[in-house]
A and B are shown apart, each in its own frame.
Chain A
Amino acid sequence: MTEYNADKIGEIHRHLHSELPSEPALRVKALESVLVEKELFTSADIDKWVDAYTEKVGPINGGKVVARAWVDAAFKARLLADGTKAFDELGFKSRVDSDLKTVENTASVQNLVVCTLCSCYPLHLLGMSPTWYKSNEYRARAVRDPRGVLREFGVEIDDDVEVRVWDSTSERRFLVLPQRPPGTETWPEDKLARLVTRNAMIGTQRDLTPESL
C-alpha cells in the first residue's frame, strides 16, 4: 500500500539508477515482464494502446473543432465560452476531470501553449505530442522568450502583436484556434479540417497555407 513517501521514492530512484541496465528498451521489457507475470494486466492490454497511438490518430479531431468554429459563428461563441461543452457537442467525450479551453488567434494576438512542469497536452484532440513539445528547451524557453522560440519555427511576430503563453499547470488543456486563411471561403468543412496543422493548434505556426492541400 502506497504511503506517498517521496523520500523513499528518491532512494528507490537511486537504486534503479545504479542497478538497472541503462538501455531503455531493456528497462521497459523488464517492467512489462514483471508486471504481466504479476497479472496486473496483460500484454494484450498494452498492445491495444500501442495500436491506438501508432495508427496515426494525429491532430484531425482538433482540426474538426477548428473547422466547425470557422464555419459556424454560434458554435465558435460556445467553444470560446465553454470549450468542454462545445467539444462534447462534436462527439468527443471529455475526461471528467479535465477542462478544455480554446484560445483564439486574431490579427493582434498569437497564442502559444506549453507545459513547463511536465508535458500536459490535449492528447485526445491532437494525438501524441511531438518530441519538441516535451523537450527541456521548449519547456524552459516558451514562457521566457516566446518570440525567439516562434522565430525558430519560422514565425515572425510583429512588435504590436501580443503573444499570450498558456502554461498548462492544472488539468485544463488548451487548444489554439488559428485564423482562417483567406482564399478558403468556399471550402467545405472537412477540407478545412485537413488544412489545420498540429503546430497551428499548439501555437508554433501562425499562418495556415491553403496551397498545401
Chain B
Amino acid sequence: MDGVHDLGGREGFGPVRWQLDDDHQPFHEDWEARAWALFLVFMRYGYPAWTLDWCRHVKERIGPIDYLSHNYFDLWTQTAMAITIEDGVADLDEFVQGQARFKPKGPPSQQPAIRSAEGAPAFAIGETVRVKHLLPDDHTRRPGYTRGRGGIVEDCIGLRPLADASARGEIRDEYLYSVAFDGSELWPEAVGRRDRIFVDLWESYLETP
C-alpha cells in the first residue's frame, strides 16, 4: 500500500528531537503505558486470527493526516478498535459510549490458512536483483524507496511467512533475502558517500534485472 506510513526517504522532515526523550522514561503519560500494555494483551487474545501483519495493516489504514500527527500509542488504540469492529467483536457505538452492549461468541476462531513452500531459493548470495516497481495496494513490506532499484543479495535468511499473505490471514512461506543497496542507487544526493542500506525482501518482491 502506497501510504504515508511508508516513510523511508520522504523529505521535508526536520531534526530528530531525541533530546526531548528521557532515556529512562519509555512512557510520558500513564495512559501511554496502559495503551501499550492493552495492545499486547489484545494481540494475545486475537492470535492467531489477528496476525501481526493484519494489525500493522489496520494501523496503516488510519487516515494520513491522523497517522502522521497522532500520538504513537493512540494509533494502536484506534487500531485495536477498528480490528474488533471489523471482526464483529464490538461495534462503534460501544466505544463511543464506553460501554459494552453484547458479548462476543468467543475468541476469533479461524486459523490462518497454511501454505507451505517448495523448491530452492531463486536468487544466490552476491547476485544483482531489482525490486519490482509496482506496489500492491494492500499490505506489503516492500518499502516504496526500493521500487525499481537494484541491489545485491547479501544473505538468504530462509523460508519465512510472507507478510503480504499474513495480513490476509494466510501463512505462506517464501524465501526472505537481505538485499544491500548503495545509497547512490536510492538517492541522488548520496553519490560519493559510503552508505549502504540493507532491506529484508521476500522473493516475490524481486526480479532479475
B163-183 interface (Cβ within 8 A of A) = 163, 167-169, 176
Q: In the bound complex, how far is the Cα of B168 from the Cα of A9, in angstroms?
A: 13
Contact B72 A17 (CB under 8 A): no
Q: Is B135 among interface residues, defined by CB-CB distance under 8 A?
A: no
Q: Is B186 among interface residues, defined by CB-CB distance under 8 A?
A: yes
Contact B160 A12 (CB under 8 A): no
Q: Which residues of B contact A (CB under 8 A)?
A: 1, 5-11, 13-18, 20-21, 23-24, 26-29, 31, 33-38, 40-42, 44-45, 49-50, 52, 54, 56-59, 61-63, 66, 68, 70-74, 77-78, 80-90, 92, 94-96, 98-100, 102-104, 107-110, 138-139, 141-143, 145, 157, 160-161, 163, 167-169, 176, 186-187, 190, 193-202
Contact B28 A131 (CB under 8 A): yes
Q: Pick the contact of B74: A19, A27, A131 (CB < 8 A).
A: A27
Q: Pick the contact of B95: A20, A45, A56, A161 (CB < 8 A).
A: A20
CB neighbours of A117 from chain B (8 A): 5-8, 56, 141, 143
Contact B18 A152 (CB under 8 A): yes
Contact B77 A40 (CB under 8 A): no
Q: Pick the contact of B86: A9, A46, A134, A153 (CB < 8 A).
A: A9
Q: Which residues of A contact B (CB under 8 A)?
A: 1-6, 8-10, 12-17, 19-20, 24-25, 27-35, 37-41, 45-50, 52-54, 56, 58, 97, 99, 114, 116-119, 127-132, 134-144, 146-147, 149, 152-153, 159-172, 197-198, 204
Contact A24 B58 (CB under 8 A): no
CB neighbours of B40 from chain A (8 A): 49
Q: In the bound complex, how far is the Cα of B72 from the Cα of A39, in angstroms?
A: 26
* With contact pairs A97-B161, A116-B6 given, residues A2 and B54 touching in the complex (Cβ less than 8 Å): yes
CB neighbours of B50 from chain A (8 A): 2
CB neighbours of B197 from chain A (8 A): 143, 164-165, 167
CB distance from B135 to the nearest CB of A (A): 12
Q: In the bound complex, how far is the Cα of B83 from the Cα of A149, in angstroms?
A: 35
* With contact pairs A13-B61, A171-B160 given, residues A137 and B13 touching in the complex (Cβ less than 8 Å): yes
Closest to A50 in B: B37
Closest to B200 in A: A170
Q: In the bound complex, how far is the Cα of B21 from the Cα of A164, in angstroms?
A: 25
Contact B86 A147 (CB under 8 A): no
* With contact pairs A4-B54, A139-B8, A167-B8 given, residues A119 and B72 touching in the complex (Cβ less than 8 Å): yes
Contact B61 A167 (CB under 8 A): no
Provide 15 A-B residue pairs closer than 8 Å at the C-beta atoms, listed in order of the A residue.
Answer: A3-B86, A12-B85, A13-B61, A16-B81, A50-B34, A53-B33, A97-B161, A114-B8, A132-B18, A137-B14, A139-B7, A140-B11, A143-B8, A152-B15, A162-B196
* With contact pairs A30-B95, A137-B15 given, residues A160 and B194 touching in the complex (Cβ less than 8 Å): yes
Contact B57 A6 (CB under 8 A): yes
Contact A31 B26 (CB under 8 A): no
Q: Which 6 residue pairs of A and B lie closest in terms of their CB atoms, listed nearest first? A: A116-B8, A128-B26, A49-B37, A37-B100, A170-B200, A25-B31
Contact A9 B23 (CB under 8 A): no
Closest to A24 in B: B74
Q: Pick the contact of A135: B17, B57, B70 (CB < 8 A).
A: B17
* With contact pairs A2-B86, A13-B63, A130-B21 given, residues A163 and B200 touching in the complex (Cβ less than 8 Å): no
CB distance from B7 to the nearest CB of A (A): 4
CB neighbours of B36 from chain A (8 A): 49, 53, 128
Closest to B58 in A: A9
Contact B161 A140 (CB under 8 A): no
Q: In the bound complex, how far is the Cα of B92 from the Cα of A17, in angstroms?
A: 11
Contact A165 B11 (CB under 8 A): no
Contact B89 A167 (CB under 8 A): no
Closest to A159 in B: B194
Contact A166 B41 (CB under 8 A): no
Q: In the bound complex, how far is the Cα of B83 from the Cα of A24, in angstroms?
A: 18
Q: In the bound complex, how far is the Cα of B13 from the Cα of A149, in angstroms?
A: 11
Contact B35 A170 (CB under 8 A): no
